[in-house]
Amino acid sequence: MLIRRQRAVVAAALSAVAVLALGACESGSEKGAPQAGASTGPAVVAPGKPGEPARRISPEEAARLLPDESPNGADFRYAQMMIVHHEQALTMTALAPQRASSPQVKKVAERIAAAQRPEIDAMEGWLKNNGGPRQQGEHDHHSMPGMASEEQLTQLQSARGKAFDELFLKLMIAHHEGAVTMAAEVLSEGNNVLVEEMANDVIAQQTSEINRMRSL
């Protein structure tokens, strides 16, 4: 289920406003120097509340009404932690071609890897563009929701055939459920629209993959 915040509604309404060029474009308008303190840009027609007429506002006021979508600490933590989370998924999927016996399990692993590599690139790019470090610093990554322990990864590496298939599906379902939990948390606590979009993609993609793995 995609989670949407109220600020998205506000942003959509403001992005749909009509910009009217006043002054020379209006018939009978007076020409001359603008009054001190007056905005020299075009006026903006902002939609009114239900039952209220639209109103003209200055570009400066329109800019102030736009929601602040600058990233906060939750956004940075999500990107940093989800990169590590995805990297473990890639470690697990890399074992499938030589160890899995089920063609369906091999296909699921291939699809997971194909989806998560670009997501890692996107999150690394977002961190770079927003001045955040790729790593959070000292953090117990295995405490993140759904992360497999070192012991579990060793068991997966040692497994073959049907035993690998069963353990892979068990660990990857838990791993995906953890990612969905992390994405839901940043939708509640974060502030950046791009992180919100990435988190919604994770929820949609990994929920679908969870259902697929449970059916195998």
- pLDDT tens per residue across all 216 residues of the chain: 444 454 554 454 444 444 444 444 444 444 545 555 455 567 777 676 677 787 776 777 656 656 678 999 999 999 999 999 999 999 999 999 999 999 999 999 999 999 999 999 999 999 999 998 877 655 566 789 999 999 999 999 999 999 999 999 999 999 999 999 999 999 999 999 999 999 999 999 999 999 999 999
The span from the CA of 47 to the CA of 68, in Å, is: 19
The span from the CA of 15 to the CA of 69, in Å, is: 14
The span from the CA of 175 to the CA of 168, in Å, is: 10
Domains (ranges, CATH) in the chain? 6-65 (no CATH), 73-214 (1.20.1260.10)
Inter-CA distances, 160 with 142, 163, 172, Å: 24, 6, 16
91 neighbors 74 (Cβ within 8 angstroms): no
- Model confidence pTM above 0.75: no
Kindly list the strands in the beta sheet with 18-20, ordered across the sheet, starting from the edge strand earlier in the chain: 18-20, 43-46, 55-57
What is the token pair recorded at 37? 């303190």
196 neighbors 187 (Cβ within 8 angstroms): yes
Task: For 34, list phi and psi in degrees, rounded to 5.
Answer: -70, 150
Where would I find the beta strands (DSSP E) of the chain?
Answer: 18-20, 43-46, 55-57
Q: Pick from 73, 182, 82: which is nearest to 124 by CA?
A: 82
